[in-house]
Amino acid sequence: MADDEHKPKRRKTKTANDASVVKIGNKTISLSAYLAPEKKPLEKPPSIQEPVATEEPQRDVIKENDPQTQTPHPPKRTTSNGDPSLLKSRKALPIWAHQSEIKASLRGDNDLLLIVGETGSGKSTQVPQFLCDEPWCRRKKAQVQSDTVNVGGMIAITQPRRVAATTLAGRVAREMGTPLGASREGSVGYSVRFDHNVPKGTKIKFLTEGMLLQELLRDPNLRQYSAVIVDEIHERSVDVDLIAGFLKQILSGDKVGRGGIPLKVVIMSATADVEKIQTFFAPHNSRSPVRLLQIKGRQYPVEIKHTSKPVTDIQEALLKQIFDIHLHEPLPGDILAFLTGQEEIESAQRLIEEYCETLASDVPKLLVCPLYGQLSIQAQQNAFLPAKKGFIRKVVLATNIAETSVTVPGVRYVIDCGKAKVKQFRSQLGMESLLAKAISKSSAIQRTGRAGREGPGKCYRLYTSATYDSLKEADLPEILRNDVLGAVLTMKARGINDILSFPLMDFPDIESVEKALIHLHFLGALADDGTITEVGRKLALFPISAPYGRVLLAAREPQYDCLLEVIDIIACITSGDNIFHQLQSEEVREEVEEYRKELYRREGDILTYLTTMQRYAAENADRIEWCKKRKVNIRNMKQALNIRKQLRGICLKEKLLTETPPPDPQPFVPMSPERAISLLKCFMKGFGTKCALLAPDSSYVTIQGKHVVAIHPSSVLHGQKREAIMFLEHVFTQRSYVKKVSTIQADWIVEAMEGH
Ligand SMILES: Nc1ncnc2c1ncn2[C@@H]1O[C@H](COP(=O)(O)OP(=O)(O)OP(=O)(O)O)[C@@H](O)[C@H]1O
């Protein structure tokens, strides 16, 4: 359709008094600027930003026939079998011209390369394709001790987030002309928690950092790989720091475990803080620095616009900006807006959809797609699909999970609110805080980069250029601000007894490490002398956090005997944050609560999750309708069933389960109060340190740290008074909240402590 057809028309009068003032929810927003009849579409919008200031012209366009861009030895398979239409855009990527250099630098004795390139230069999609046809990348037979084993043949490329790993795998598969998941020589696969697609013949495997760590525990020499590419190292997650440490050990080791065959390592970063990485990886007693390749430029320019004045109401500014773009910018061109968290996204979605209803019928339709970590994988994928039929422009409302690595197809406009919710673990308090904080320059640049992926784009920052200048360069590495329980367990499981000697780019404070060691000891993962126990080894291999793993192990003990139930609960919890949709109006509340009665249990959230899961699985008529009536999140429930299947599989493999459970639907039988008690006691094995007692003033006080906490409104026990409670999460948002709460008896706490 021609653009002209979608030029915004004046909206029908909204109120009798002032057509430019719109009431959206409880907000009154002035939209006069772009609803005025004399306003011509597609001219510079009279909006909240200053005149254009393009930051660093990014264009480094490489022409199709430029001999510089033609590699002397194009990779055979990728160019001959790959999608020809995509090959053209691949060749236009700044990294294409460096293909030979990248290959050459890893031939011979050099096993390590550091690539620094701007967002969109083509690192994540191209580097694995450049390397996968290299002679060193073939699978070889090698002698390890007295065995002949296969070594290499595959390239692993790590991503900080699931959504990046799966979408990149899809893109690279298309570029290579090998359908994702096809069992074919030279194909592309991915592996993320609870979702694996690694068919036989996979040559390039995208995986999350957590998955590679698990593989490292099973195979410390990473024998199946010829190369590991660590992407987005600048994000500095705990997992990537651990991976860097393990890879450094492999690189400097004797290669005996790989039959003498080296592992090639490529470290990729978008920021120029190269020195730290180079120093970290530099071999001892070596003067030769780590090889570095810097890629300049990105494929398309992005125009950056800041506001002229600080914004006081981010939500209002965001809505204005979205509709400003929608009404004035040409089509096609989707919008990607960065917000702080799920709540903000949900409320913005409601307001946008409400406002869309009031737009004139000839104004193009807007489709809103949320994108945040707690959404099921399926729901996340929606944001990556073209707008559904009938909608013309897509607006993706995302948290920082869409900040790095991902390309959201169709996006030309990015709106950056300048904030992100940051998890911070307070080791003295033993709790996490989750507060919205100003992002770093590095994050702002990454967000901007999401606009120039498929064509020139624009990035609207909802803050001034002075604010941008005042942002810190980069975020603190996660290992310095987060709980290190999982990290310490991983190190211990890899046989690193002296944690302090492990090579880390930054070392967490001793207090956090001590807290983690004590916690692991409580879980039975460490013996009195600090060495890993059999329990600890198992916990490290589960794809769930150590306390949940501990509950899983306890559940098959005869005094608890509730393994299938525990699997159901963990599957439900891991499927996403809120399985129950929030109830907006009183009317809806009354109706839905009536249906939900059969799900809610007086013992609290754990039993409520179990009942929901079991009743859902027992439903054999219409599960969608069942969820609708109860306002239960259908996607979460589907995901929960998928996770349940995988957890059952793991338990069968680990011999925790002795036989395959019967298939769905099974008749629902409510758990008796006696069995409910033993199930909760079983959870105390993992969460015995997370309990609180009711104080005389009716507040709850935690047994560890003596903090006053409130039960979160999302809990079925919200507003209730019980002698003692156990909680699975403790988080500081507006106040100190506990979530996923269950009623317990005070003497169980003593029992749990004595049991360890
Ligand atoms: N899923 C996708 N759909 C459509 N195009 C894509 C997709 N993934 C990548 N591309 C295209 O490939 C280009 C290069 O992407 P790539 O992820 O390799 O860059 P990068 O240098 O790793 O950047 P970043 O660090 O920002 O992820 C993008 O700008 C986009 O044009």
Write the CATH number for 436: 3.40.50.300
Domain shared by 272 and 334, yes or no:
no
Cα 3 to averaged position of ligand 1 atoms, centre (Å): 26
Can you say how many angstroms the Cα of residue 531 is from the centroid of all Cα atoms in its chain?
32
- In the Cβ-directed half-sphere of 17, how many Cα atoms lie within 13 Å? 4
From atom 25 of ligand 1, which residue's Cα is the shortest distance away?
A: 119
Last residue of a domain, one of 447, 478, 509: 478
Instruction: Looking at the structure, tell me whether residues 372 and 259 fall in a common domain.
Output: no
**Residue 311 belongs to some domain of the structure:** yes
For the stretch 145-150, contacts whose Cβ atoms lie closer than 8 Å and that sit 24 or more positions apart, written own/partner, are: 149/223, 149/259, 150/223, 150/224
Residues 246 and 308 in one domain: no
Out of 245, 274, 295, a domain closes at 295
* CA of residue 27 to ligand 1 center, whole Å: 38
- Residue 751: CB partners within 8 Å, gap ≥ 6? 681, 684
State how far the Cα of 129 lies from the Cα of 132, in Å rounded to an integer.
5
Residue nearest to atom 14 of ligand 1 (CA): 122
Interval between CA 398 and ligand 1 midpoint (Å): 18
Q: Where do runs of H (alpha helix) occur along 597-706?
A: 605-618, 623-630, 634-653, 673-687
Q: Is the residue at 53 inside a domain?
A: no
681 lies in some domain: no
Report the residue among 102, 407, 459 best suited for mutation to probe ligand 1: largest number of ligand atoms under 8 A from its CB. Answer: 407
At 57 the three-state DSSP class reads coil
Taking the centre of ligand 1 as the mean of its atom positions, its distance from the CA of residue 746, in whole angstroms, is 54
- Specify if 560 maps to a domain: no
Strand partners, 415: 337, 460
Give the pLDDT band (50/70/90) at residue 331: confident
Verify that 258 and 307 share a domain, yes or no.
no
Say which residues have a Cβ less than 8 Å from residue 92's Cβ, sequence separation at least 6: 61, 62, 64, 299
Contact between 237 and 244 (Cβ < 8 Å): no
The H or E element spanning position 291 is strand 291-295
The answer on 394 and 375 residing in a single domain is yes
Name the residue with the closest Cα to ligand 1, atom 30: 453
Q: Which mutation among 93, 453, 454, 459 tests ligand 1's pocket best, with the greatest number of atoms within 8 A of CB?
A: 453
Place of tokens 């600890």: 536
The answer on 263 and 166 residing in a single domain is yes
If you measure from the C-alpha of residue 141 to the centroid of ligand 1, how many angstroms do you get, rounded to a whole number? 35
Locate tokens 């011979």: which residue?
A: 108
CB-based contacts of 413: which residues, under 8 Å, 6+ apart? Answer: 325, 329, 333, 334, 335, 336, 451, 457, 458, 459, 460
Contact 371, 336 (CB under 8 A): no
Ligand 1 nearest-atom number relative to CA 452: 29
The atom number, within ligand 1, closest to the CA of 125 reads 18
Closest atom of ligand 1 to CA, residue 384: 1
Question: According to the model, what pLDDT value does residue 578 have?
Answer: 76
Domain match, 205 and 145 both: yes
Please tell me the residue having the least CA distance from ligand 1 atom 10.
407
For the CA of 117, the nearest atom of ligand 1:
21
ipTM of the complex: 0.96
Question: What residues line ligand 1, using a CB cutoff of 6 Å?
Answer: 93, 117, 119-126, 167, 171, 270, 299, 404-405, 407, 409, 449, 453-454
Distance CA 414, CA 447 (A): 7
What sections of 219-310 are H helices per DSSP? 238-252, 274-281
Lowest mean pLDDT: which of 272-286, 566-580, 586-600? 272-286
Same domain, 286 and 318: no
Q: Which helix (H) or strand (E) holds 85?
A: helix 84-91
Q: 79 CA to middle of ligand 1, Å?
A: 18
Q: Which two tokens stand for residue 107?
A: 């031939």
Q: Whose CA is nearest to atom 12 of ligand 1?
A: 122
Q: Is 681 helix (H, G, I), strand (E, B) or coil?
A: helix
> How confident is the prediction for the chain on average, in pLDDT?
85
Structure tokens at 92: 């236009």
Q: How far apart are CA 462 and CA 449, in angstroms?
A: 16
Residue 125 alpha carbon to ligand 1 centre in Å: 6
pLDDT of 286 above 70: no
Which of the pair, 18 or 222, is modelled with greater confidence? 222
Is pTM beyond 0.90 here?
no
Q: Which helix (H) or strand (E) holds 489?
A: helix 485-493
Q: Are 352 and 321 in contact (CB under 8 A)?
A: no
What pLDDT digit, counting tens, does each position of 59-108 carry?
A: 222 222 333 333 333 334 444 456 788 898 899 999 999 999 999 999 98
Helices (H), 203-341: 209-218, 238-252, 274-281, 314-328
Residue 22 covered by a domain: yes
120 vs 24, higher pLDDT: 120
Residue 726 in this model has a pLDDT that exceeds 60? yes
Helix/strand/coil (H/E/C) assignment for every residue in 131-170: HCCCHHHCCEEEEECCEEEEECCEEEEEECCHHHHHHHHH
Q: Which two tokens stand for residue 123?
A: 């690192």
Q: In ligand 1, which atom is closest to the CA atom of 270?
A: 25
Q: What are phi and psi of 694, to 5 degrees?
A: -75, 130
Calculate how far, in angstroms, residue 300's C-alpha sits from the geometric centre of ligand 1: 11
What mean pLDDT do residues 124-137 have? 96
Nearest CA to ligand 1 atom 4: 409
Query: Contact, 91 vs 126, CB < 8 A?
Result: no
Q: How far is the CA of 82 from the centre of ligand 1 (A)?
A: 16
Nearest alpha carbon, ligand 1 atom 17: 124
Q: How far does Cα 652 stand from its chain's mean position?
A: 28
Same domain, 132 and 162: yes
What is the residue with the minimal CA distance to atom 9 of ligand 1?
407
Does a structural domain hold residue 137?
yes
Q: Whose CA is nearest to atom 29 of ligand 1?
A: 453
- pLDDT confidence bin for 29, thresholds 50/70/90: very low
Q: How far is the CA of 489 from the centre of ligand 1 (A)?
A: 34
Indicate if the pLDDT at residue 234 is higher than 70. yes
CB atoms near residue 377 (< 10 Å):
18
Give dist(CA 388, CA 386) in Å, integer: 6
Domain edge (last residue) among 448, 478, 508: 478
What confidence tens digit (pLDDT) does each residue in 243-252 have?
999 999 999 9
Ligand 1, residues 171, 299, 371, 412: which to mutate, most atoms within 8 A of Cβ? Answer: 171
Asked if residues 314 and 285 have their Cβ atoms less than 8 Å apart, the reply is no
3-state secondary structure 315-355: HHHHHHHHHHHHHHCCCCCEEEEECCCHHHHHHHHHHHHHH
Q: In this structure, which amino acid lies at residue 471? A: L
- The secondary structure of residue 478, as a DSSP letter, is G
pLDDT digits (tens, 9 = 90+) for 732-749: 877 889 999 999 999 999
Name 285's Cβ contacts closer than 8 Å, sequence gap at least 6: none
Q: Which residue puts its alpha carbon closest to atom 18 of ligand 1?
A: 122
Alpha carbon of 674 to ligand 1 centroid (Å):
55
Domain encompassing residue 411: 2-41+300-478
* Alpha carbon distance, N-terminus to C-terminus of the chain: 69
Distance from chain centroid for Cα 326? 28
pLDDT tens per residue across span 675-703: 999 999 999 999 999 999 999 988 999 99
Looking at the structure of the chain, the number of domains it has is 2
Select the more confidently predicted residue: 491 or 183.
Answer: 491
When pLDDT is cut at 50, 70 and 90, the band that residue 206 belongs to is very high
DSSP 3-state assignment of 707?
Answer: coil
| Shared domain check, 310 and 270 | no
Q: Is residue 710 part of a domain?
A: no
Model confidence at 466, in pLDDT bands (50, 70, 90)?
very high
Report how far ligand 1's centroid is from the alpha carbon of 118 (Å). Answer: 11
Which of 125, 230, 233, 293 gets mutated to test ligand 1 (max ligand atoms within 8 A of its CB)?
125
User: Are 248 and 116 within one domain?
Assistant: yes
Q: Which of 421-425, 443-447, 460-464 has the lowest mean pLDDT?
A: 421-425
pLDDT band for position 215 (cuts 50, 70, 90): very high
| pLDDT tier at 577, thresholds 50, 70, 90 | low
As given in the structure block, the two tokens for residue 694 are 């009711």
> Angle at which helices 546-555 and 534-541 pack, to 10 degrees?
120
| Centre of ligand 1 from the C-alpha of residue 429, in Å | 41
Residue 543 is assigned to a structural domain of this protein? no
Q: Return the HEC string of 523-588.
A: CCCECCCCCECHHHHHHHHCCCCHHHHHHHHHHCCCCCCCHHHHHHHHHHHHCCCCCECCCCCHHH
How does pLDDT run across 512-566, given as a tens digit for each residue? 899 899 999 999 999 999 999 999 999 998 989 999 999 999 999 999 999 999 9
334 and 454 within one domain: yes
